[in-house]
A and B are shown apart, each in its own frame.
Chain A
Amino acid sequence: MSQRKVLQGNIIVAKAALAAGCDFFAGYPITPSSEIAQYMSKEMPKMERTFIQMEDEIASLGACIGASLAGRKTLTATSGPGFSLMQEHVGMAVIAEVPVVIVNVMRGGPSTGMPTKPAQADLMQARWGTHGDHPIIALYPAFSDEIFSETVRAFNLAEKYWNPVILLLDEVLGKAHMDVEIPEPGSYEVYWEKTHEIKDLNIYDRNLGENPPRIDFFHGYPIHIDSLEHDAHGWPSFDAKTVDKMQKLRMQKIYQNLDDIIKYKEYFMDDAEVMVFSFGISARSALAAVKTAREQGIKAGLFQALTIWPFPRAALQERFKKTKKVLTVEMNMGQMKYEVERIAPCDVEKQTLLRANGMPFAPAEVLDAIKEFAK
């Protein structure tokens, strides 16, 4: 039986992670994400799973990657400043193709900024935070049930594509207590591929677009994992052709499987004249605003991105064939609006509602923006 409960957003993340089979957590305290670590420190030992508080965020993600290579499903949780410290290891997880889930409960920045105030501040950091060309998956739930389902999905995608997956959450959603439906185990997919038998060092050998096989230490054949660019054997290589191939393998495992990775929700979009494009906490206000606008006879709709990286480009472009006005609502000084501008055709009018002062948008503010734009 599923259970209806009132839980804090951070606790929903922790419960969902355990439900997804997370058996290793390494973290460092930071507002507003600390409840995830606290819950894990209490619950994981009971289940014979592993919790450790590391000396900083760099160490936390390092420990997660190490544990992942030893066969664990790993999670770390942080906020903007800690996420910045983790970035070098995000790249390490990408190049070595190691699954790991990183929760970033976003707060106002830059620097120490506003630790107890929300901001949709790290959307671009999630995409381009680490150095070098790399694929990344970032999920961004808005409603309580989505926090559970997207956390489980983050683990599934990490395991499937052998890439770090970032779960973004808003400070207000991490801290707020909300009504949530915890589904019954078995009613949702938990992806877990057993390690392939390793017979040779050619652990990265595969065809373009194929999911990589799981690579773990201690499976009878000693393997080498490297942070340097490497060939199919994992052995360091700067040969241009080899590098080309390995880069394409890493990119295409994500970009040839967009249908599986990209998830979004559309509300009242069928005949919408004004599309609100939003995500996270702003999407909640936007949905309320769109409903009121409909009551007042304005043909407004909401496109809520649940996967923000890779960007839901094809789905949006399909909508732009009919809907010629797009209003991007985000709690920052303008980040995803550039993605919208980049893909929207010239005949689509673009408008934004932006703010990064720590105050989430009230539905009435979004409604005013819709009304103004619909004129």
Chain B
Amino acid sequence: MRDYEKYIRYRTFPTPWCPGCGDGVILKSIAMAFAELNLDPDDIVVIAGIGCSGRMPTYFNTNTLHTTHGRALTFATGIKLAKPEKLVVVISGDGDATAIGGNHLIHAARRNIGIKMILINNGIYGMTGGQVSPLTPPSFFTETTPYGNIEPHFNVRKLLTAAEATFVARETVNRLMQLKQVIKKSFQHKGFSVVEVMSNCHVNLGRRNKMKSPLVMTKYIRDITMNMPEFEKLSPAEQASKYPLGIFVQNTERLEYTDLYYNHIVPTAQQAGAKGEK
């Protein structure tokens, strides 16, 4: 047994994911990050919303919670506040995190509550059969954009940076070792962290856009992504259709929310209470 396997709940296999899906790579990279940090499985809780990503917690041999669509961050907020010392991981898809759960995403970032979010961006609603999501690239064909997508997609990096997130990163399923490394770094970060993972849905996005096989789709992901220094050399017009990779924001100065609550608000309130202030 390899060291990361103790974090995998094999009794619940097989997974519901299509052959070639990037979710398996992400599952493994998260388990490897747990193993490298040598965490007790009972000190971890993995939470997800609805969708293909929503089924991922069931395969971790940690505490796991499958919640409602888009709201995983709210449950995570409750758990983190109740047990600040635990590692609270949220796994979310692009529709889950940026459409129905968009409000919770920006507020978790604003609060800087120590939740570790893995945002799987496959650019489509996969579980429901391939409808357009806020991260579907423009002009792509989906089940609900049969004549092409006319909406621009969210730039998650800029969205979260504007919401004052203290750790923002992007990786792809093509680079397992880098992905594991970035996830591990996000777990070590104290505040709210988001690792956006570019993943392939060749079945529900690729198939309708001339990228039917996992290989073609992962090659496409390779072609549209590049490390930040390379990305910065591009003209703004070229940048529009490309995705930089790496850690974009890593702010360790801002205090984490539960830290502020229990180490600042609680003593302040207790002093006020002792003085008899109303």
Q: A218 touching B64 by the CB < 8 A rule?
A: no
Supposing A45-B265, A68-B78, A70-B78 touch, asked if A218 and B67 sit within 8 A by C-beta, the answer is no
Alpha-carbon gap, A67 to B64, bound state (A): 14
Minimum CB–CB distance from A148 to chain B (whole Å) comes to 21
Q: A56 touching B103 by the CB < 8 A rule?
A: yes
Q: A26 touching B63 by the CB < 8 A rule?
A: no
Q: A48 touching B266 by the CB < 8 A rule?
A: yes
In B58-113, the 8 Å CB interface with A consists of 58, 61-68, 71, 73-79, 81-83, 86, 103-104, 107
For B268, list chain A residues within 8 Å (CB).
45
For A67, list chain B residues within 8 Å (CB).
78-79, 81-82
Q: A235 touching B12 by the CB < 8 A rule?
A: yes
* Residue-wise interface mask of A (65-85) relative to B, using a CB-CB cutoff of 8 A (1 in contact, 0 not): 111111110100000000000
Q: A71 touching B266 by the CB < 8 A rule?
A: no
In A23-69, the 8 Å CB interface with B consists of 24, 26, 42, 45-46, 48, 50, 52, 54-56, 58-69
Residue A217, interface by CB 8 Å:
yes
For A62, list chain B residues within 8 Å (CB).
67-68, 71, 74-75, 77-78
Residue B270, interface by CB 8 Å:
yes
Alpha-carbon gap, A52 to B104, bound state (A): 14
Residue A146, interface by CB 8 Å:
no
Q: B76 touching A55 by the CB < 8 A rule?
A: no
**Closest B residue, CB atoms, query A52:** B81
Choice from B67, B81, B273 contacting A24 with Cβ under 8 Å: B81
Minimum CB–CB distance from B239 to chain A (whole Å) comes to 31
Alpha-carbon gap, A63 to B65, bound state (A): 13
**Closest B residue, CB atoms, query A223:** B63
For A48, list chain B residues within 8 Å (CB).
262, 266, 270
Q: B79 touching A222 by the CB < 8 A rule?
A: no
Alpha-carbon gap, A227 to B71, bound state (A): 12
Q: Is the interface of A mostly helix, strand, loop or mixed?
A: mixed
For B41, list chain A residues within 8 Å (CB).
222
Minimum CB–CB distance from A52 to chain B (whole Å) comes to 6
Q: A65 touching B64 by the CB < 8 A rule?
A: no
Q: A42 touching B71 by the CB < 8 A rule?
A: no
Residue B126, interface by CB 8 Å:
no
Residue A225, interface by CB 8 Å:
yes
Q: A66 touching B273 by the CB < 8 A rule?
A: no
Q: B58 touching A235 by the CB < 8 A rule?
A: yes
Residue A224, interface by CB 8 Å:
yes
Residue B232, interface by CB 8 Å:
no
Q: B78 touching A63 by the CB < 8 A rule?
A: yes
User: Which of B61, B62, B82, B268 has the most chain A CB atoms closer than 10 A to its own CB?
Assistant: B82
**Closest A residue, CB atoms, query B61:** A222
**Closest B residue, CB atoms, query A64:** B78
Q: A66 touching B42 by the CB < 8 A rule?
A: no
Residue A236, interface by CB 8 Å:
yes
Alpha-carbon gap, A80 to B44, bound state (A): 36
Choice from B65, B73, B270 contacting A225 with Cβ under 8 Å: B65
* Residue-wise interface mask of B (171-190) relative to A, using a CB-CB cutoff of 8 A (1 in contact, 0 not): 00000000000000000000
Residue A92, interface by CB 8 Å:
yes
Q: A59 touching B104 by the CB < 8 A rule?
A: yes
Residue A273, interface by CB 8 Å:
no
Alpha-carbon gap, A74 to B74, bound state (A): 14
Q: A220 touching B42 by the CB < 8 A rule?
A: yes
Supposing A46-B270, A65-B75 touch, asked if A89 and B68 sit within 8 A by C-beta, the answer is yes
Alpha-carbon gap, A81 to B104, bound state (A): 19
Residue A176, interface by CB 8 Å:
no
Residue B216, interface by CB 8 Å:
no
**Closest B residue, CB atoms, query A100:** B78
Choice from B44, B66, B74, B75 contacting A226 with Cβ under 8 Å: B66
User: Which of B47, B63, B78, B83 has the most chain A CB atoms closer than 10 A to its own CB?
Assistant: B78
Q: B76 touching A66 by the CB < 8 A rule?
A: yes
Residue A228, interface by CB 8 Å:
yes
Residue B5, interface by CB 8 Å:
no
**Closest A residue, CB atoms, query B41:** A222
Alpha-carbon gap, A89 to B69, bound state (A): 10
* Residue-wise interface mask of B (33-67) relative to A, using a CB-CB cutoff of 8 A (1 in contact, 0 not): 00000000111110100000000011001111111
Q: B57 touching A217 by the CB < 8 A rule?
A: no
Q: B63 touching A222 by the CB < 8 A rule?
A: yes
Supposing A70-B82, A226-B66 touch, asked if A59 and B273 sit within 8 A by C-beta, the answer is no
Q: A55 touching B107 by the CB < 8 A rule?
A: yes
Residue B162, interface by CB 8 Å:
no
Residue B224, interface by CB 8 Å:
no
For B62, list chain A residues within 8 Å (CB).
222
Residue B269, interface by CB 8 Å:
yes
Residue B261, interface by CB 8 Å:
yes
For B45, list chain A residues within 8 Å (CB).
70, 217-218
For B42, list chain A residues within 8 Å (CB).
218-222
Alpha-carbon gap, A62 to B69, bound state (A): 11
Q: Tell me the A residues contacting B by CB distance below 8 Å.
A: 24, 26, 42, 45-46, 48, 50, 52, 54-56, 58-72, 74, 88-89, 92, 217-228, 235-236
Closest 9 CB pairs of A and B: A66-B78, A62-B74, A45-B269, A70-B82, A63-B78, A66-B75, A67-B78, A59-B74, A46-B273
Instruction: List 9 extra interface pairs beyond A63-B81, A224-B66, CB under 8 A.
Output: A45-B265, A45-B268, A58-B74, A62-B75, A68-B78, A70-B83, A217-B45, A217-B86, A218-B45
Q: Please, could you name 11 A-B residue pairs with CB atoms under 8 Å apart, sorted by A?
A: A45-B266, A54-B107, A56-B103, A59-B71, A62-B71, A66-B82, A217-B45, A218-B43, A224-B9, A225-B64, A227-B67
